[in-house]
Amino acid sequence: MNRRQFLLGSGAVGAAGLTLAAGGSQFLAAERGPISLRSRMTSHVFNRPGVGSFETQGLISLADKAPPPVVRLTQGERAVIRMTNGLEDYTTMHWHGIRLPNAMDGVPYLTQFPIGQDETFEYAYTPPDAGTYWYHPHCMTMNQMALGLTGLLIVEEPEDVGFDLDVPLNLKDFRLDAEGQLRPFFTPRGAARGGTLGNVSTTNWSVEPIYDVPSGGLVRLRFAATDTTRIYKLAFPDVPGRIIAWDGHPVEENIAWPTADKPLWLGPGQRMDVALRVPDSEGSEVSFTGQFGTSQRTVVTLRATGASRRRDLAELKPLPRNPIAEPDVANAEIRQLVFGWTPDGKGANNGLCGSYGYTFWSIDRSPWPGDAVEGVGPLATLELGKSYILRLKNESPNLHPIHLHGLVFKPLRSNQRQLPGNYTDTILLMKNEVVDIALKADNPGDWAFHCHVIEHQKTGLAGYIRVA
C-alpha cells in the first residue's frame, strides 16, 4: 500500500467510480471529473460494544449500507457535483463553509428551488480555500441529517503538505432503540431546550473505530461535528501533536491541546484539523475520547502499524494561508443580532422542506417565518466590500452554534472568555454570551444565517444576511 493510500471502509469510496479516497494528495486533479451523488434510503449495521450489533433500517445516505462518501476537491479547481435526489421527499445540498457563488449554496427558496424526486441539480463552483468542510441537505434538513446524510468535504491544498496519512472523522450520533431501530429525532421538548440528543455516538458510522496508522508517522486528523445536536467535548491523547486548522482555516492563534479536565468543545457544524505524531512502537494505540453526559467514551483509536517512519512534527510547515480578506475592524460598522426564546406560536412555512408546527426561537425577536415564505427581508444588509462587526447576543440559557453561509468571520471578543482569533463560519455561543465577530462582506448574495442545532433552526432560529 502506498503511504498515502488509505480507505476508511466503503465510506471513503465515492460515486461514479471515482476514488474519493481518504488518503490523498497524490490523486491528481486529472483523475477528477464531475462527481455524481444520489441520495437513497439504506440500512447499516451498527456494532455497539457490550450491546450487540443491529441492522438499522430507514437510514439515508449516498451509498448503499455505508455512510456518505468523503468528497475531495482541490483548492482553486472547478468542481462539478451532480446531486440526484433518490428520495420521495424534496432535498437540496449545501456545502458548509465553502465561499462559493450564492446560486450554488443549496438553500431552498433563497438560492434554488428544492430538488424533487429523481431530479438532478448541478452544483459547480471553484473552492477558494483549502481545508475541512462538510455537506448536508438544507431542505428536509432535520429528517435527512438525523437519518445519516452528512459527509465530509475536503478541499486539498494543491501542494503536498507533508502528512503520511489523512484521516477524516465524521462525528455523528444516531437515536436508536434497544433493537437498533430509529427513534424520533425531533421532540418539542428538546427543540425548546438544548435539542434532542442521540444515544449511539459514531465516527464514520462506526462505534469506537480503530484505524491503522503508520508507526512514527505524521497523520492529519480531520474532525467534523456533523450531528444535529451534540456538542462534542473532546480530550486528546498525551502524544506530540497540535491543532493546525479550525473550521477549515489554518489557525493563526493557538488552540490548547485538550485534556479530560479541559476538553475542547466542538459544536454542531464545526471542524478541527489535528497533526499528530504516531508512537514508534508497532501495535501501540492512542485514543481520542469524548465526554458524553457523565461518561468518557472513545471517539477513535489509532493503532501504530509497520516499522517506524521516524517522522518529526517539526518537519511540518505551517499550512498555507487561505486567501481571506482581512476585515478593517477600525472602520467597521456594528450590527447587533439577538438570539432568544420566543413563546410558542404557529410553525414556520417551510414549503416542501419540512415543518414541525412549532416556533420556539427567534433572531432579533422575530422567529423565522419559514423557508418558503416570500418577501421576508434580510436580518441585515451589508454593503459589498465593506467591513462589519456583528454583535451576537445570546439571550437564552441554551447554547447555539451560529453559522453564516458564504463568508467567513473572525471572533474579536466575548463577554465571558478569551476567544482565539481564528477565521470561522460557525461559532458556539455560550449561555448569555455576547460575542463580537468581524468580517469583510466580499461575497454578494443572500446568505443563510442560523443556529446549527437543527431543531432550533427549524423552530425559528434562522434568517439570512444580504450582501449587496
Which residues contact ligand C2O (rule: CB under 6 A)?
94, 96, 136, 138, 269, 403, 405, 448, 450, 452
Interacting partner of 453 out of Cu ion, ligand C2O, none (Cβ under 5 to 8 A depending on kind): Cu ion
Residue 456 binds which entry of ligand C2O, Cu ion, none, CB below 5-8 Å type-dependent: Cu ion
The answer to the question of residue 453 lying near Cu ion (CB under 5 A) is yes
**Stretch near Cu ion under the rule CB under 5 A, chosen from 47-55, 173-181, 366-374, 446-454:** 446-454
Nearer to ligand C2O, 94 or 99 (CB): 94
**Residue with smaller CB distance to ligand C2O, 94 or 172:** 94
Of the pair 44, 405, the CB lying nearest ligand C2O is at 405
Residue 175's binding partner out of Cu ion, ligand C2O, none, with CB under 5 to 8 Å set by partner kind: none
Which residues 87-146 are close enough to bind Cu ion by CB under 5 A?
Answer: 96
By CB under 5 A, name the one of 32, 99, 271, 456 that touches Cu ion.
Answer: 456
Cβ 439 to ligand C2O shortest distance, Å: 16
Spatial contact of 238 and 289, defined as CB atoms under 8 Å apart: no
Identify which of 450, 337, 343, 318 has the alpha carbon closest to the alpha carbon of residue 394.
337
Q: Give me the least distance between CB of 271 and Cu ion, in Å please.
A: 12
Q: Which is nearer to ligand C2O, 245 or 448 (CB)?
A: 448
Whole-number minimum distance, CB 156 to ligand C2O, in Å?
21
CB closer to ligand C2O out of 92 and 394:
92
Distance in Å, CB of 78 to ligand C2O, minimum: 22
- Tell me whether residue 145 or residue 251 sits nearer to ligand C2O (CB atom): 145
Q: Which is nearer to Cu ion, 164 or 455 (CB)?
A: 455
Residue 32, contacted partner among ligand C2O, Cu ion, none, CB below 5-8 A by kind? none
Smallest gap from Cβ 450 to ligand C2O, in A, equals 6
Which one of ligand C2O, Cu ion, none interacts with residue 136, CB within 5 to 8 A by kind?
ligand C2O
Which residue is nearest to ligand C2O, using beta carbons? Answer: 96
- Least distance from C-beta 226 to ligand C2O, angstroms? 9
3-state secondary structure the chain: CCCCCCCCHHHHCCCCCCCCCCCCCCCCHHHCCCEEEECEEEEEEEEECCCEEEEEEEEEECECCECCCCEEEECCCCEEEEEECCCCCCECCEEECCCCCHHHCCCECCCECCECCCCEEEEEECCCCCEEEEEECCCCHHHHHHCCCCEEEEEECCCCCCCCEEEEEEEEEECECCCCCECCCCCHHHHCCCCCCCCEEEECCECCCEEEEECCCEEEEEEEECCCCCCEEEECCCCCEEEEEECCEECCCCCCCCCCCCCEEECCCCEEEEEEECCCCCCCEEEEEEEECCEEEEEEEEEEECCCCCCCHHHCCCCCCCCCCCCCHHHCEEEEEEEEECCCCCCCCCHHHCCCCCCCEEECCECCCCCCCCCCCCCEEECCCCEEEEEEEECCCCCEEEEECCCCEEEEEECCCCCCCCCECEEEECCCCEEEEEEECCCCEEEEEEECCHHHHCCCCEEEEEEC
**Taking CB within 5 to 8 Å according to partner kind, which of ligand C2O, Cu ion, none is near residue 220?**
none
Q: How far is the CB of 154 from ligand C2O (least distance, A)?
A: 16
452: alpha, beta or left? (left if phi > 0; alpha if psi -120 to 50) = alpha
The entry of ligand C2O, Cu ion, none near residue 230 (CB within 5 to 8 angstroms by kind) is none
In angstroms, give the least distance from the CB of 41 to ligand C2O.
22
- Inter-residue contact 89 to 42 (CB < 8 Å): no
For cell 476567544, name the residue: 419
Looking at residues 348 to 407 of the shown chain, list those that interact with Cu ion (rule: CB under 5 A).
Answer: 400, 405
Residue from 451, 454, 462, 465 in contact with Cu ion (CB under 5 A): 451
Q: How far apart are CA 298 and CA 149, in angstroms?
A: 23
CB of 94 to ligand C2O, least distance (A): 5
Q: Residue 418 corresponds to which amino acid?
A: Q
Number of residues that bind Cu ion (CB under 5 A): 6
Name the binder of 249 from ligand C2O, Cu ion, none, CB < 5-8 A by kind: none
Kindly state the smallest distance separating residue 63's Cβ from ligand C2O, in Å.
Answer: 21
C-alpha to C-alpha distance for 6 and 12, rounded to whole angstroms: 9
**Residue ranges in contact with Cu ion by CB under 5 A:** 96, 400, 405, 451, 453, 456
